[in-house]
């Protein structure tokens, strides 16, 4: 795993760990874990947790486990397990041989539950869900004890064993911790530890009809793995006393400690798994890997780099209070990283034909172009130039405003890496009035430098040779949601951005992009960063995803609306 070059600024979690190391707690060990439930694909919020947990292990020379928190059979699957493994690895982290499954602990967790019963700390309760809710009380009123609270230990042991054997109907009985129905913290009012659920589990099949609740399974899984710092998001703050209560009763020494941090909230984005599942199932997006999704697989397909995502997670840091991070920061990190790494290329999205009347027909020049303006180590490539070219439709205006420094009647413009050309005449479709082609002349003395007569030509535009260009499809992505905080006012689906995807067919890319490897990334001159789509690209038929524009165009677009 990569080590950070400079020491990271300390946050409150690192302060806690430093203190633990100073006092010799856990014998100087730092053991963390990333514990996803395999019921969906992981997203940028999970990436924050991944970077934090693996980052701490790296920084303190400790360990970080990858643990599937798979104790609720509903919705969990091997597909999700595999995706999580692939995504965490892609983010750049390595758990060695420490991949674990909470479902592997079912037998041990059952034994822990039996131990709690034997200590008089848990009981089998026959209240159904509604009755239990009635007994639970509210924030202002204490709860009422269940009539089954004082069953004998023997009766509890017998009933719990029979729950496991499948003698009782789903929901008819639970195992509950015997804590305090009068506690100010509702979590501590005899929480359920086990429930009956006849649901096959993707790993244990039909072996179990009772499943442990998250609060019971999670802390004990941590303890079984020797986790020292169990880092989770703020919504578990109220559950911490229960975490400590269970661990104090069942674990002798080296008890893990739960620490909560603020989850990532990102503007123009939803990060709730339930909502992401809804987007996929109702086909608002093409799948978990739709490049507009905030999932790791979606960001990968879009062309984001793991380095950029890690940089983002480092930049936002960890805090104790919930906040909303501007998605523009993530895009900024992506842009910064790609600016360094992405080779440059030319591609015309909306082609307009240019004919150089004074350029010999059949002649082809191979122009040597730098792949990166600041990085000679990235080499050069040959880009063919010929009499017929394509430029962008909006790089020509028939009646331009003064400041327009692209091509127009009577004007000259520089073709990137090539000649200065001059407008001569245009040809329109007689019926529609649409411009079909533009005839220009070129100044042969300007290929490698400014014009000899010192005249100024301001604009530089990109182009491709028509004969050599490869036809490509380009997908322009915008944010999936129209507003910064989707779902805050009404149904989040109503906040979807109807223009989040624009598919452009018939784009013309320079010849060198014909067989570019799926997944490779480029800066298309003047347009932004693009990635060769891994799924839909066919040999000789590239599909490009726009990763990010060169500048943040969102402000401009939203002004217009
Ligand atoms: P669910 O609501 O289904 O529990 P979840 O998003 O919490 O969804 P988990 O698989 O339980 O998903 O999460 C795994 C880990 O990732 C947990 O430790 C959780 O705290 C952390 N995590 C989840 N969402 C975020 C987020 N937005 N920011 C930071 N960490 C997160
Ligand atoms: Mg969770």
Q: Which ligand is nearest to the CA of 46?
A: 1
Of the residues 29, 37, 144, 424, only one is catalytic, namely 37
Rg value, the chain, Cα = 31
Assigned architecture for domain 351-462: Beta Barrel (2.40)
115 an active-site residue?
no
Which residues of the chain fall short of a pLDDT of 70? 1-8, 552-561
Q: State pTM to two decimals.
A: 0.94
Neighbours of 154 (CB within 10 A): 10
Q: Are 156 and 122 in contact (CB under 8 A)?
A: yes
Same topology between domain 273-344+472-560 and domain 351-462:
yes
For residue 264, give the ligand 1 atom closest to its CA.
Answer: 28
Name the residue among 294, 340, 249 with its Cα closest to residue 523.
Answer: 340
- The best mutation among 49, 74, 76, 261 to test binding of ligand 1, ranked by most ligand atoms within 8 Å of the C-beta, falls on 49
How remote is the CA of residue 508 from the centroid of ligand 1, in Å? Answer: 42
Domain ranges of the chain: 12-261, 273-344+472-560, 351-462
335 an active-site residue?
no
Domain spanning 273-344+472-560: which CATH class is it, in words?
Answer: mainly beta
> What is the Cα–Cα distance from 107 to 397, expressed in whole angstroms?
74
> What is the Cα–Cα distance from 203 to 77, expressed in whole angstroms?
8
How remote is the CA of residue 446 from the centroid of ligand 1, in Å? Answer: 58
- The best mutation among 39, 46, 76 to test binding of ligand 1, ranked by most ligand atoms within 8 Å of the C-beta, falls on 46
Q: What's the pLDDT score for residue 4? A: 47
Sequence-separated contacts (24+) of 420-427 with Cβ below 8 Å: 420/446, 420/451, 420/457, 421/354, 421/356, 424/357, 426/398
Query: Which residue has its alpha carbon closest to ligand 1 atom 5?
Result: 273
Of the residues 14, 86, 263, 341, only one is catalytic, namely 263
By residue count, the chain amounts to: 561
pLDDT tens digits for range 67-100: 999 999 999 999 999 999 999 999 999 999 999 9
Which CATH code of 3.90.1150.10, 3.90.950.10, 3.40.605.10, 3.40.50.620 fits the domain covering 12-261?
3.40.50.620
For residue 48, give the ligand 1 atom closest to its CA.
Answer: 29
Q: Which ligand is nearest to the CA of 322?
A: 1
Burial (CB count within 10 angstroms: exposed 0-12, middle 13-18, buried 19+), residue 398: exposed
> What is the Cα–Cα distance from 25 to 45, expressed in whole angstroms?
30
Q: Are 167 and 159 in contact (CB under 8 A)?
A: no
Question: Nearest 5°: phi and psi at 273?
Answer: -60, -40
Helix H or strand E encompassing 438: strand 435-443
Q: What's the pLDDT score for residue 559? A: 47
- Given CA atoms 419, 424, 429, 433 in this order, what sign does their dihedral have? positive
Question: H helices within 169-305, ranges in order?
Answer: 214-224, 240-250, 273-281, 296-302
> What is the Cα–Cα distance from 277 to 123, expressed in whole angstroms?
36
How remote is the CA of residue 70 from the centroid of ligand 2, in Å? Answer: 11
Q: Are 532 and 507 in contact (CB under 8 A)?
A: no
282 an active-site residue?
no
From residue 172, give the alpha-carbon distance in Å to each of 125, 152, 196, 378, 560.
Answer: 9, 19, 8, 67, 58
How remote is the CA of residue 126 from the centroid of ligand 2, in Å? Answer: 27
* CB-based pocket (< 6 A), ligand 1: 35-37, 45-46, 48-49, 232-233, 263-264, 271, 273
Q: What's the pLDDT score for residue 137? A: 96
């Amino acid at each position: 795993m990569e080590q950070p070059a400079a020491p990271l600024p300390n946050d409150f979690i690192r302060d806690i760990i430093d203190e633990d190391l100073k006092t010799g707690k856990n014998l100087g060990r730092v053991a963390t874990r990333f514990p996803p439930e395999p019921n969906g694909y992981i997203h940028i919020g999970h990436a924050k947790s991944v970077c934090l947990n693996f980052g701490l292990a790296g920084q303190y020379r400790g360990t970080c486990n990858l643990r599937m928190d798979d104790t609720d059979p509903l919705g969990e699957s091997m597909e999700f397990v595999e995706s999580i493994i692939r995504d965490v690895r892609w983010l750049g982290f390595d758990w060695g041989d420490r991949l674990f499954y909470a479902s592997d602990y079912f037998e041990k967790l059952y034994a822990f539950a039996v131990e709690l019963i034997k200590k008089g700390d848990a009981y089998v309760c026959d209240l159904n869900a509604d009755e239990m809710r009635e007994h639970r009380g509210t924030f202002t009123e204490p709860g009422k004890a269940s009539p089954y609270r004082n069953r004998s230990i023997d009766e509890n042991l017998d009933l719990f064993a029979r729950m496991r054997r499948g003698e009782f109907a789903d929901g008819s009985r639970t195992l509950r911790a015997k804590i305090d129905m009068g506690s100010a913290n509702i979590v501590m009012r005899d929480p359920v530890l086990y429930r009956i659920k006849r649901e096959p589990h993707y790993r244990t099949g039909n072996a179990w009809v009772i499943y442990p609740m998250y609060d019971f399974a999670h802390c004990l899984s941590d303890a079984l793995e020797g986790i020292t710092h169990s880092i989770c998001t703020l919504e578990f703050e109220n559950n911490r006393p229960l975490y400590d209560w269970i661990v104090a009763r069942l674990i002798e020494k080296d008890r893990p400690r739960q620490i909560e941090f603020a989850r990532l909230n990102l503007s123009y984005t939803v990060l709730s798994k339930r909502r992401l599942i809804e987007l996929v199932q109702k086909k608002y997006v093409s799948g978990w890997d739709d490049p507009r999704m905030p999932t790791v697989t979606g960001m990968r397909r879009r062309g984001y780099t793991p380095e950029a995502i890690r940089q983002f997670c480092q930049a936002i840091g960890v805090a104790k209070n919930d906040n909303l991070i501007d998605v523009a920061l993530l895009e900024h990190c992506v842009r910064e990283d790609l600016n360094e790494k992405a080779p440059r290329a030319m591609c015309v999205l909306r082609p307009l034909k240019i004919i150089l009347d004074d350029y010999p027909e059949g002649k082809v020049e191979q122009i040597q172009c730098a792949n990166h303006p600041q990085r000679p180590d990235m080499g050069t490539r040959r880009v063919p130039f010929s009499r017929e070219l394509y430029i962008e439709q909006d790089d020509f205006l028939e009646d331009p405003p003064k400041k327009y420094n692209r091509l127009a009647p009577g004007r000259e413009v520089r073709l990137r890496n090539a000649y200065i050309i001059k407008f001569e005449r245009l040809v329109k479709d007689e019926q529609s009035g649409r411009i079909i082609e533009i005839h220009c002349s070129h100044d042969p003395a300007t290929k490698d430098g400014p014009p000899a007569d010192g005249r100024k030509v301001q604009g530089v535009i990109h182009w491709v040779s028509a004969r050599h260009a490869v036809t490509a499809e380009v997908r322009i992505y915008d944010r999936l949601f129209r507003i910064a905080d989707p779902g805050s006012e009404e149904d989040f689906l109503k906040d979807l951005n109807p223009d989040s995807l624009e598919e452009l067919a018939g784009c013309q890319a320079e010849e060198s992009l014909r067989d570019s490897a799926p997944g490779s990334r480029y800066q298309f001159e003047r347009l932004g960063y693009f990635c060769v789509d891994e799924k839909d690209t066919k040999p000789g038929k590239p599909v490009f995803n726009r990763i990010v524009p060169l500048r943040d165009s969102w402000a401009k677009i939203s002004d217009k609306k």
